[in-house]
Amino acid sequence: MKKYYLTIGLCLIAMGVNAQWLTETSCNEQSNKITDKAIAHLVNLESSVAVGMANAALMIDEKCGAAKLVKVNAALGGQYGSRDQQVKDLDTQNFTEQEKAWHKILAAPDEEESEIRIEMAEAYPKVPLFSLLASLSAEDGDRLTKYVQEFPEYASSAYNTMSYYYAQGEYGEPDMEKALETVKKVFLTHDGPNAHDSMAEHYALMGDYESAFKHQVMALDYAAMGGSGYGVNAGIYLRQSNKVDLTDSLKTMTKKRIAFQMENDIENLAQFYSEDVGMIACNSDMEPCVFYETLEEEDLGIVWNRWDVSDLKVYFSPDMRVAVTTFNNDGEYTVSGSDTPVAYKTRASEVWTLDNGWKLMHSNFAPLAFGSGIPKTE
């Protein structure tokens, strides 16, 4: 809903044509509009977009205090420089009272910030930014509900936070349907990547990784070069949605690798190893583990007659970039110079990592009580 403020036939530049996150800034009209959008992206946790817009606003008006504050706020956690230092270095002489109030919040010690947020919200009850910061600081779902009723045009960030409250059971029992319903309301007033990222997280919690991947890609497409974090999660959700295929692939790779190992086929074994990572082998001769930077042909002095793999299972890390396989081995080999076959019975666990495809980084074989491993080296 647009609001117009006229005096002697002229628009008040500081107030702007539309309602704003800060109702009084030191920015000229054009930079003020851009900065208002920058604040919207900032409170929706889209820092890279917010900083880009703040920089654009400062190119138009280098004295725009609100744009400077956006950049300082985005530096939280070490991103875009040190926030503490930027707060100290900021010249606030020409700031409006609201810009100085925001600066006061940013300059507050951690233990006092919540109190000062509430103080500023009470001092400026009609300023959406301060009311939002106070509502988020209180970690009170009821206060957020009141906020979205009072400032429906500025409710996007509040709806996003409320969706997590529903997902985490802050309003009673966890309610994922309500979480999704709430986060979708973000799009009523804000177009940005973070809501898609939140939807992806909610779908992932529900085990619907295909929907999670779809929304994560939307977040990644929107964020473009600034969406590296979104890209990481997109990879996770894609792998999770293909977990069955990845499991089957690792089982097939394990069996192929064993077949090549029986023949000591270095050329074909090379596909399972990474020269960047190397590989640690703990063999069933129970000798010390060995780190291999490169594959080498090994003469163990044995000939394999049979080597079967059974009970092969695959376990993944949460990000699906590391897999652990466990399996049993039953076979038979003959030592050079002997005609007597040796029963080979071991259990094994191996660690695979994604490095331009799945690569083996650790292998551990141990003989079972009723069988033998490979013979010890001389």
| pLDDT band, residue 142 (cuts 50/70/90) | confident
Q: What is the mean pLDDT of residues 326-345?
A: 92
| pLDDT band, residue 79 (cuts 50/70/90) | low
Q: Comparing 73-82, 252-261, 321-330, 367-376, which segment has the lowest mean pLDDT? A: 73-82
Q: What is the mean pLDDT of residues 215-230?
A: 76
pLDDT of residue 75: 84
What digits encode the pLDDT tens for the residues 85-97? 889 889 999 999 9
For the chain, which domains are there? 6-241 (1.25.40.10), 244-367 (3.10.450.50)
pLDDT of residue 3: 33
Whether 203 shows a pLDDT value over 80: the answer reads yes
pLDDT of residue 17: 37
| pLDDT band, residue 140 (cuts 50/70/90) | low
pLDDT of residue 48: 86
Sign (positive or negative) of CA dihedral 51, 55, 61, 62? positive
CA distances from 360 to 179, 266, 308, 322 (A): 40, 14, 19, 10
Nearest to 234 by CA among 264, 197, 202, 191: 197
| Distance, first Cα to last Cα, the chain | 85
What digits encode the pLDDT tens for the residues 240-270? 999 999 999 999 999 999 999 999 898 999 9
CA distances from 222 to 51, 55, 87, 193, 230 (A): 15, 19, 30, 6, 10
Distance CA 74, CA 64 (A): 16
Distance CA 316, CA 247 (A): 9
Contact residues for 84 (Cβ-Cβ < 8 A; gap 6+): none
For the chain, percent of residues with pLDDT exceeding 90: 72
Q: What is the mean pLDDT of residues 351-356?
A: 92
Whether 378 shows a pLDDT value over 70: the answer reads no
What digits encode the pLDDT tens for the residues 294-315? 877 677 788 999 999 999 999 9
Helix axes 110-123 and 97-107, enclosed angle (nearest 10):
160
Q: What is the mean pLDDT of residues 110-125?
A: 95
- Cβ atoms of residues 46 and 74 within 8 Å: no
Q: Which amino acid is at 13?
A: I
What digits encode the pLDDT tens for the residues 33-53? 999 999 999 999 998 889 999
Q: Comparing 110-124, 214-228, 236-250, 332-346, which segment has the lowest mean pLDDT? A: 214-228
Three-class DSSP category at 279: strand
Three-class DSSP category at 81: coil
Q: What is the mean pLDDT of residues 224-246?
A: 83
Q: Rg (Cα) of the chain, in Å, rounded?
A: 30
